[in-house]
Amino acid sequence: MVCGLAFAATGEAQDSGQWRAANEAAKSTTGDVYFSGQKVSINFSAFTIAEIRTLKPEEATGVFDVEPGAVGSGHLYRTMIPASKRFAHRNTLCGSEDTQWMVSYSDGRSLHLAFFSGSDMPVLTAEGLATATDLCGTFLYAR
């Protein structure tokens, strides 16, 4: 019960601020990210994000390498990052497709992000992601 309550805490405050790229995917594609209100800045470019809903614990474990029962919070966001936008090392988030969804999970010291293309809301289960064609990548950040 405590895990469920802790997981339900709002993500905006937990996600806010600057996060350093912590894995090779983040270092080579996005660089550091910064959350402020209803915007995320990636490689010095700001994009509007709209929180759609809080993630269920099983969705966080389905999308990210998060231990079941971990204490943290996650959110599904709607966004629009054009396919033409280049980030670190001239990389894009979703190749030739616009990035339309972002999923976050934070435990306070680390932040996981996943980006999705496509107009349909992504299916955030291990089974759904195994066959997903709209998952662009997952990235890890730290404070």
Q: 59-102: per-residue pLDDT in tens?
A: 999 999 888 778 899 999 999 999 999 999 999 999 999 999 99
Can you give the residue ranges of every domain in the chain?
2-142
Which amino acid does the sequence have at 35? F
SS3 88: helix
What distances in angstroms separate CA 107 from CA 8, 44, 45, 56, one per listed residue?
12, 24, 25, 14
Closest residue by Cα to residue 49 from 33, 34, 38: 38
Q: 20-69: per-residue pLDDT in tens?
A: 999 999 999 999 999 998 999 999 999 999 999 999 989 999 999 888 77
Kindly report the pTM of this predicted structure: 0.88
